Chains A and B, each alone.
Chain A
């Protein structure tokens, strides 16, 4: 169970998120939908700790967590532009953090990576560099890279924005498939059809308007 309680965030006096609450059960997929400028991405950045919330609390299974504390983060992100490292091959992108951060042996990291690669239909792409991949492949590498860190929660920022409809459906399948693995998923999207395809719950956010 992942909870956000009374989250507030403003930039230079402009309120973006006002008193937001979220509840996501284990294995659940929550879609956060809304128009541009509604604060979807800001919400995601607060949850992932890339942006510090002005106030508000985050709880995982009842325990308060601090997303900005890198040392024990349990949250993974798949960025809109994927954020792959262009100087590393697919396999190097995936095993870098497991080796350096989780201190896995190379063999172990490779073995785990290969399983995920095969599962997400990236077999044969291991030694390619990101520029040699299509958008959908890059995204799957980004998902595998995130999974390899064993997060409890995965956040997706606009996962379909760079994909055609057929690929959107595929990534939807991947997200649904990951439900089986005890992972809570948050999907930020403006694509309502996609949200309905994957989500157990949909949270709508609207641009905040100052009252009065």
Chain B
């Protein structure tokens, strides 16, 4: 118990870093994903460019992307600080997944919704804002939730570029003190984080349950 109290502060500061990366990625990658998904349903060349982007982001390991941005890009003179490099990698990667989720959502809106809106003479933007986006949001919520949970755990990959997140804090303590306790605590922290998020996501889904 004494030992747990001793290592808790370092674990907590790791949690803070993990949450920072998590929050920034969510806040930036979801809007970016929506924009990319609109581009994916767009015209030829723009569509091709963004399909290529999604292919790269989903087709290579996130770990490679992190290493590429932090250790690779400086070779050609592009240098990002650690934390910024991590956020850029996560946002680019998750936006690609979110884009595919939103694209699926947009495509599952029945054609009659667009035609009704057209016959009521709503503009394209009014149709999107009042009718399509609210419906897409409800459709994609479960999939978004999945990615959100994934992101909490994926954020541990930042240890590879030397960021002191939760996992790294536990790893250091285990190596130093030769005990399993820090790693078990790390697991408990992740479980608490994902449990809280699961609850929050369920609440959000329930809030959108008023129509079917």
On A, residues with C-beta under 8 Å from B are: 48-50, 70-71, 73, 75-77, 79, 81-88, 96-97, 100-101, 129-131, 145-146, 149
Are B118 and A149 closer than 8 Å at their CB atoms?
no
Are A101 and B120 closer than 8 Å at their CB atoms?
yes
On B, residues with C-beta under 8 Å from A are: 112-113, 115-116, 118-122, 126, 130-131, 134-135, 138, 210-212
Question: When A100-B126, A131-B211 are in contact, do A77 and B113 touch as well, CB less than 8 Å?
Answer: no
Are B211 and A129 closer than 8 Å at their CB atoms?
yes
Complex contacts, A48 vs chain B, CB 8 Å: 119
Other A-B pairs, 8, CB within 8 Å; known A84-B116, A85-B131, A97-B120? A50-B115, A71-B121, A82-B112, A83-B112, A86-B211, A87-B211, A100-B122, A149-B120
Looking across the interface, which residue of chain B has its beta carbon closest to that of A75?
A: B119
Complex contacts, A77 vs chain B, CB 8 Å: 115-116, 119
Are A149 and B121 closer than 8 Å at their CB atoms?
yes
B127 to chain A, nearest CB (A): 10
Are B112 and A97 closer than 8 Å at their CB atoms?
no
In the docked arrangement, what's the CA distance between A36 and B88, Å? 56
B124 to chain A, nearest CB (A): 10
In the docked arrangement, what's the CA distance between A141 and B130, Å? 18
B178 to chain A, nearest CB (A): 57
Are A96 and B138 closer than 8 Å at their CB atoms?
no
Complex contacts, A86 vs chain B, CB 8 Å: 135, 211-212
Are B115 and A70 closer than 8 Å at their CB atoms?
no
A107 to chain B, nearest CB (A): 19
Are B121 and A70 closer than 8 Å at their CB atoms?
yes
In the docked arrangement, what's the CA distance between A162 and B140, Å? 30
Complex contacts, B210 vs chain A, CB 8 Å: 129
Question: When A86-B135, A86-B211 are in contact, do A101 and B112 touch as well, CB less than 8 Å?
Answer: no
The 12 sampled A-B contact pairs (Cβ below 8 Å) are A49-B118, A71-B121, A77-B116, A83-B116, A87-B138, A88-B130, A97-B121, A97-B122, A129-B212, A131-B211, A149-B120, A149-B121
In the docked arrangement, what's the CA distance between A145 and B112, Å? 15
Looking across the interface, which residue of chain A has its beta carbon closest to that of B120?
A: A97
Are B119 and A76 closer than 8 Å at their CB atoms?
yes
Complex contacts, A76 vs chain B, CB 8 Å: 119
Are A96 and B120 closer than 8 Å at their CB atoms?
yes
In the docked arrangement, what's the CA distance between A211 and B118, Å? 37
In the docked arrangement, what's the CA distance between A77 and B211, Å? 24
In the docked arrangement, what's the CA distance between A101 and B130, Å? 13
Name the residue in B115, B116, B122 with the highest tally of chain A Cβ atoms < 10 Å from its Cβ. B116
B29 to chain A, nearest CB (A): 25
Are A85 and B113 closer than 8 Å at their CB atoms?
yes
A43 to chain B, nearest CB (A): 16
Looking across the interface, which residue of chain B has its beta carbon closest to that of A77?
A: B119
Complex contacts, B115 vs chain A, CB 8 Å: 50, 77, 79, 83
Are B135 and A87 closer than 8 Å at their CB atoms?
yes
In the docked arrangement, what's the CA distance between A130 and B211, Å? 8
B71 to chain A, nearest CB (A): 47
In the docked arrangement, what's the CA distance between A83 and B110, Å? 9
Are B135 and A101 closer than 8 Å at their CB atoms?
no
Complex contacts, A49 vs chain B, CB 8 Å: 118
| 6 tightest Cβ-Cβ pairs between the two chains A and B | A83-B116, A97-B120, A83-B112, A131-B212, A129-B211, A87-B134
Question: When A48-B119, A101-B122 are in contact, do A79 and B211 touch as well, CB less than 8 Å?
Answer: no
Name the residue in A71, A100, A149 with the highest tally of chain B Cβ atoms < 10 Å from its Cβ. A100
In the docked arrangement, what's the CA distance between A131 and B135, Å? 14
In the docked arrangement, what's the CA distance between A96 and B129, Å? 12
Are A96 and B212 closer than 8 Å at their CB atoms?
no
Looking across the interface, which residue of chain B has its beta carbon closest to that of A50?
A: B115
Name the residue in B116, B120, B135 with the highest tally of chain A Cβ atoms < 10 Å from its Cβ. B120
In the docked arrangement, what's the CA distance between A88 and B131, Å? 8
Complex contacts, A100 vs chain B, CB 8 Å: 122, 126, 130
